[in-house]
A and B are shown apart, each in its own frame.
Chain A
Amino acid sequence: MKDTNMTENAVTTDTPKITARGVQVYYGDTHAIKDVDVEIAANTVTAFIGPSGCGKSTFLRCINRMNDTIPIARVEGDIRIDGEDIYDKRVDPVQLRAKVGMVFQKPNPFPKSIYDNVAYGPRIHGLSKNKADLDEIVENALRRAALWDEAKDRLQQPGTGLSGGQQQRLCIARAVATAPEILLMDEPCSALDPIATAQVEELIDELRQNYSVVIVTHSMQQAARVSQKTAFFHLGHLVEYGETGKIFTSPEDPRTESYISGRIG
């Protein structure tokens, strides 16, 4: 494992956006994440793949401290964003989450209007000075999420009335509206049909221009399509991490190869 990280370090030339060192996560007595080291670069899409229960979602939720909301979860180790330890006592997770947006597995729009869904983040963080400002933020976010054309005439209608794919893009727009630096996506397409999936994937590729995107996915094809870097998790270990092309064509670890070729998982 150390070796993979060594080769990984050689690939990354920029300073990493997120650095994790020796991360352990426990749920009660269960050791869910075991000693994970990873460096995630800015303006790339990093995919976490692995079989169910391997800890990839758990690790994702460490990055914006969503695990704090689970009383029995305990995180050890060191995770830094731009060199700052996010588990430092002085860090307010609320502030952190404004910087690290998240899109969940199941579309979860608020039962409010489309406009209010997108405007919620900017409102609570005071990102707009006036109504016109806010309108612009909402429009930009919806455009980013490729939802503007479909939603512009129905901004005041409930977000829950949209189709599943539109709802997920609304959630992406909502996350983008708070202008985060990192966007975490936890299986964003698992509840969507292939067409909606294609739209969201296209969107993820565009989002790479401005954000570091970390995406957890069950679909290896999806990881291959959207990501530049791929990390393979297995039983709580980070087995292999590297260029997506390399992971899928010539994995170093036999477990990675088994998973990719469909023998485990």
Chain B
Amino acid sequence: MTDVTAAGPTGAGKGSLLNQDDRTGKRNRAEGRFKMYGLIAVCIGIGMLVLLLISILSNGLSSFQQTTLRIQVDLPEDKLDKSGVRDPSVMSKVTTFGYAPLLRDGLVATLAANGIETELSDKDVAELISDESVAQLRNRVLANPDVIGTTIEVNALASGRIDGYYKDRVTMASAERDSNISPEQLQLADRLKEAGLLGTSFNWLFFTAPDASDTRPEAAGLGVAILGSLYMMLIVLVLALPIGVAASIYLEEFAPQNRWTDLIEVNISNLAAVPSIVFGILGLAIFINFAGLPQSAPIVGGLVLTLMTLPTIIIATRAALKAVPPSIRDAALGLGASKMQSVFHHVLPLAMPGILTGTIIGLAQALGETAPLLLIGMVAFVREYPDSPLDGGFFDPATALPVQIFNWTQRSDPAFVERASGAIIVLLLFLLVMNLTAIFLRRKFERRW
């Protein structure tokens, strides 16, 4: 018996099952440690993401709210349309300088009518209103000349500092040191708020307005950038999807396996890893300098992003085609289907979810790409909306969402930090929608075999 017990521990699994032996304990501890490392890594990753989202949301959410002033403005005929014919082309001779006093007088009169007294000069009072509001008033009058001679209510944008005051960016203390705003002006704004003449509302202009100059952060919007990005995505989708899918099908299903196809394969993989700014230089050299396409145009941006997206789409499509079991191809060929029939009737439908996912991921990448667009001039300050694509809008100057963010982060006014963060939120929302679409399409088209 002593022999048996002595021999027991020497062989694996010879001891009692109820007592864990050293080796097993060691292995279990190693596994426990490994799980912990993994968990820590995941937690760090999630923590970073949460930090990022918190910082963006805390900085950017306020850009979806905008402070406005409700002002009664008189529009005297003798100042705005001396001829009295209400012809917008004649009326447009009156510049914003002609409208600024009207808005100022309107605000002063509104203060008086509501019994708000102030020691500030009329000029200081007028500083509560954004310069952009004057332009907006002029546009409104030119669009509808019938309002001349009447008194209208205007929802004027508050100036950037006043807007910042209600978003906790500007305080009484900071206003002391600020040449653009004084504590007295802030107090006046508070009294206007009490009287219900000043308030915040949802900032639709942020999505529709074009960019604004450095001194008017309150008026800066994403309209041109969203339109530009949309045009570029359309171009990328229309060009990259068919070219990429056709190239992948040819390479995967039809091309002979030889040195040339190997070379092409390696190069496509390498292209996917080329820094995006290189594509920008290529676009500048070929599309603008050689082909003579206009700068800052979505067509050039779209072409450059197409080049950048193609490898992604080709690689994803080839992986999707490879994942279709060969038995399906054999089955089709065995029935006397031609190669093309077997690909288009059986292989392609099965690969569709993968292709769509790859395409949308490629598009999402292109949507967030900044560097190549800087080189082809999309970083320009563009205030004119591009025309509709049917009227050659692809050739009009435009900017893009990520470039707009880049642009705003470079400006000095802290109000642009809010704008940039808001634009990041918009960009992330677009990406989220695209990824959800990818998941939805994958689920919808997914078939089991």
Contacts and interface: CB of A to CB of B under 8 A. Distances in A.
Chain B associates with chain A:
yes
Interface of A: 64, 66, 69, 71, 94-99, 101-104, 106, 108-111, 120-121, 124-125, 160, 171, 174-175, 178
B52 interface: no
Given A108-B325, A110-B328, 9 more contacts: A94-B337, A96-B336, A98-B336, A104-B327, A109-B331, A111-B449, A124-B335, A160-B448, A171-B331
B345 A120 contact: yes
11 contacts: A64-B334, A66-B333, A71-B256, A97-B335, A97-B336, A104-B331, A110-B328, A120-B332, A124-B336, A171-B331, A175-B335
Nearest to B324: A111
Contact of B336 (A104, A106, A109, A178): A178
Contact of A108 (B330, B338, B345, B448): B330
Contacts of A178: 335-336
Contacts of A98: 335-336
Nearest to B334: A102
Nearest to A97: B336
Contact of B449 (A69, A95, A102, A160): A160
A36 B176 CA distance: 102
A137 B449 CA distance: 25
Interface centre among A99, A106, A108, A174 (most CB of B within 10 A): A108
Contacts of A110: 328, 331-332, 346
A44 to B, nearest CB: 21
Nearest 9 A/B pairs, CB to CB: A98-B336, A108-B327, A102-B334, A97-B336, A121-B335, A111-B449, A108-B331, A111-B447, A94-B338
A171 B335 CA distance: 10
Contacts of B346: 110
A167 to B, nearest CB: 11
Contacts of B365: none
A99 B336 CA distance: 8
A71 B254 CA distance: 11
B337 A106 contact: no
A124 B341 contact: yes
Interface string B291-334: 00000000000000000000000000000000001011111111
Nearest to B257: A71
Contact of B334 (A66, A71, A106, A109): A66
B350 interface: yes
A120 B448 CA distance: 19
A133 B201 CA distance: 68
Contacts of A120: 332, 335, 337, 345
A106 B333 contact: no
Contacts of B448: 111, 160
A121 B328 contact: no
Contacts of A102: 330, 334
B335 A104 contact: no
A71 B255 CA distance: 11
A69 B341 contact: no
A179 B449 CA distance: 26
A120 B338 CA distance: 12
Contacts of B337: 94, 120, 124
Contacts of A111: 328, 350, 447-449
A97 B333 contact: yes
A106 B334 CA distance: 13
Contact of A101 (B325, B335, B447): B335
Contacts of B332: 110, 120
A108 B335 contact: no
A176 to B, nearest CB: 11
A36 B345 CA distance: 36
Contacts of A160: 448-449
A103 B327 CA distance: 11
Given A94-B338, A110-B346, A69 B333 contact: yes
B336 A121 contact: yes
B123 to A, nearest CB: 76
Nearest to B350: A111
Nearest to A121: B335
Contacts of B336: 94-99, 121, 124-125, 178
A152 to B, nearest CB: 22
A106 B330 CA distance: 11
A95 B329 CA distance: 16
Nearest to B337: A124
Contacts of A94: 336-338
A202 B164 CA distance: 86
A97 B334 contact: yes
Contacts of B331: 104, 108-110, 171, 174
Query: B256, B328, B331, B337 — which one has the most chain A CB atoms within 10 A of its CB?
Result: B331
Given A108-B327, A111-B449, A101 B334 contact: yes
Nearest to A103: B334
A202 B157 CA distance: 86
A148 B346 CA distance: 24
Contacts of A64: 334
Contacts of B338: 94
Nearest to A72: B257
A102 B448 CA distance: 23
Nearest to A160: B449
Contacts of B341: 124
Contacts of A103: 334
Nearest to A180: B336
A179 B333 CA distance: 15
Q: Choose among A103, A109, A111, A175 the residue with the greatest number of B CB atoms under 10 Å from its CB.
A: A111
A201 B325 CA distance: 27
Contacts of B256: 71
A216 to B, nearest CB: 14
Contacts of A106: 327
Interface string B88-108: 000000000000000000000
Nearest to A159: B449
A175 B328 contact: no
Interface centre among A99, A103, A120 (most CB of B within 10 A): A120
Interface in B351-389: none
